[in-house]
Chain A
């Protein structure tokens, strides 16, 4: 039996749509709640990011509880940057006890990328070990082998980077994540469908669901900034040129068009099992993208 509505859909052959919300820096959750209400019925699940880019924020687990309270389907993003194996297991138990069962297992950005660059980086585990730890907990013990009073049960995901400029080691890691129990993958931003096609030719041999990451760019400047500063991201020159061609003040509109076109093509050509829309601070425009991609009303 499926653990969650999202897991059920994962195996239904539906085209899946997920998105993500970055929690606020501070205790005022009104905007996050507004975005949750805006998006919860338009997508299959909402990721809540875990101090994305190592910038300290309201926690992912807190955001996921809000998604749940508001009737949405949360995906808990969990990085290994800030918690050792005790804290990770404890948070997983808390999540499960409150009905949060979809977990995206990530290593996490380096502390140097964020706004607390003097903090101690933890990385007691990596993403593969985190996936494996969840499977061990599901079998009824913690990873020290001690029996759990009540074993949790999760739907586990991970990330993969089909556009990495050095792909072979990334694919080795992908296979390790599959072996460690990842059921679904949300990819890093896809800007060149050729790389997604090549990746899927390889990945389709595994029994996992792939959701292509779609980053909505608001301008050519933002694209260049991401190329220079965001770990791993490589925005294709063709897309930068297209964004640059937009008139003044129309960059975001162009970005929505580009994202919608990518999503439409992925769906029409059945390239992978769904998309994960990352609006990076512009969560409010996600419905516009889904509408432009003709994906409105996806959830059944």
Chain B
């Protein structure tokens, strides 16, 4: 899933300062799971913004709150067409994709980001998420025992550990495991160390010309022209 953190309240307050009527729009998928912008966070933020504006008096806002099942899906955005017609801005607590989906669907309206979208990851324990995928477009996890060095090695290198590792940790962060030592240990357990002995050539960054698009092979209508 996509993991994000809600922006600090004062940054959000500054962002909405010039808009009177603001829709705080939550997202029911990833942002709900990572506690950054689901229904609960929308409600907390709504209250916090009201308290903040009564304290510092930076304009009088009127807030609405709503949480869509997914902001990144056009069909769900249709559900807020009427509400959006009555506001001056949408404060999206969706990830960066949600903010942009709102902007594309409602071109006449400012779409403001309420969270900092951070990474694709998984839940480690309650309230802790770890990055696991860099969406590099060229997955080699079969060669690295299911551990991604592009994401989990700070240098994203392909041919084994650098010499900066100490006590099994990364040179850049003493709390972070060296990805390549994890890869080594797991390949050894799987009796696949020969995969680490192979030479891996430089990555093909053409697999990630931005922005990317994927067209389903079963799709009938590939949609609008790219760009």
Residues of A within 8 A of B (CB): 81, 85, 107-110, 112-113, 121, 123-129, 132-133, 143, 159-161, 164-166, 168-170, 172-173, 175-176, 179-180, 188, 231-234
Contacts and interface: CB of A to CB of B under 8 A. Distances in A.
A133 B159 CA distance: 14
Given A129-B201, A169-B196, A176 B160 contact: yes
B184 to A, nearest CB: 4
A252 B193 CA distance: 44
B197 A172 contact: yes
B136 to A, nearest CB: 13
A121 B154 contact: yes
B197 A234 contact: no
Contacts of A109: 164, 171
Contacts of A125: 202
B197 A176 contact: yes
Contacts of A133: 202
A172 B166 contact: no
B226 to A, nearest CB: 25
A179 B200 CA distance: 12
B196 A165 contact: no
A169 B159 contact: no
A110 B197 contact: no
13 contacts: A107-B155, A107-B162, A108-B155, A109-B171, A129-B159, A129-B200, A159-B163, A166-B165, A169-B180, A173-B160, A231-B162, A231-B165, A231-B171
Given A121-B154, A175-B197, A169 B164 contact: no
Nearest to A168: B184
A180 to B, nearest CB: 7
Contacts of B158: 126, 129
B161 interface: yes
B96 interface: no
Count chain B CB atoms within 10 A of each CB in A169, A176, A188, A232 and give the residue with the most. A169
Contacts of A169: 160-161, 180-181, 184, 196
Given A113-B172, A173-B160, 9 more contacts: A85-B202, A121-B154, A121-B155, A124-B202, A126-B157, A132-B201, A164-B163, A170-B160, A179-B199
Contacts, number: 101
Which of B157, B173, B180, B197 is most buried by chain A, counting CB atoms within 10 A of its CB? B157
A161 B180 CA distance: 15
Contacts of B184: 166, 168-169, 172
Contacts of B157: 107, 123, 126
B132 to A, nearest CB: 19
Contacts of B167: 165
A112 B164 CA distance: 12
B199 A132 contact: yes
A179 B197 CA distance: 10
Nearest to B199: A176
Given A112-B154, A121-B154, A128 B163 contact: no
A233 B166 CA distance: 8
Given A110-B155, A112-B173, A123-B155, A232 B160 contact: no
A233 B171 CA distance: 10
A113 B202 contact: no
A110 B180 CA distance: 15
Contacts of B162: 107, 126-127, 231-232
A15 B212 CA distance: 55
B203 to A, nearest CB: 8
B197 A129 contact: no
Contact of B165 (A124, A164, A180): A164
Contact of A180 (B154, B164, B173, B199): B199
A172 B162 CA distance: 11
